[in-house]
Amino acid sequence: MSQDNKALMERWFEEVWNKRRAEAIREMVTEDLVVHGLSDAQGEAIKGVKEFDRFHSQFVNAFPNIQVKVEDLIAEGDKVAARCTVSAKHTGDALGFAPTHADVDFTGIAIVRIKDGKIVEAWNNFDFMKMNRQLGVI
């Protein structure tokens, strides 16, 4: 089970983020997905695949060349933890402000819970403070 769960996590970052295949999201998550550490418009955890679709679309439109490198994967039971490095260039206006054309690089950790071969819940801790500093937002 751990190897299958690790493979799902590697596929998640490669397909959904590096290749920006939005259709792959539904292949890998449940409809009632909950994502902690990423926020909806009200500042709450993202709930449901449709809300995640909105987040994903916004982020890849802001950073169309995003690349996520999985540095480490640790799996135990129904959970997988991934330590990642993210790099991208801000060339889209989907974050609510004009493209800065700034390069960003930051790190993060994602932990997911998997049930029946799909991601049902995730906890994300990415250094968006560093990303926002690099964009000149703060």
pTM, full prediction: 0.94
Q: What is the largest CA-CA distance in the chain?
A: 44
State whether CATH 3.10.450.50 applies to domain 2-135.
yes
Structure confidence at residue 75 (pLDDT): 97
pLDDT at residue 41, rounded to an integer: 81
Please report which residue ranges of 1-138 form alpha helices under DSSP H. Answer: 2-11, 23-28, 49-62, 128-135
**How far apart, in whole angstroms, are the C-alpha atoms of residue 129 and residue 22?**
25
Chunked mean pLDDT (size 10), the chain, 138 residues? 94 98 97 94 93 96 98 97 98 93 98 98 98 95
The full set of domain ranges for the chain reads: 2-135
Structure tokens at 94: 């989907």
Q: What pLDDT is attached to residue 66?
A: 98
Q: In angstroms, how far is CA 103 from the centroid of its own chain?
A: 18
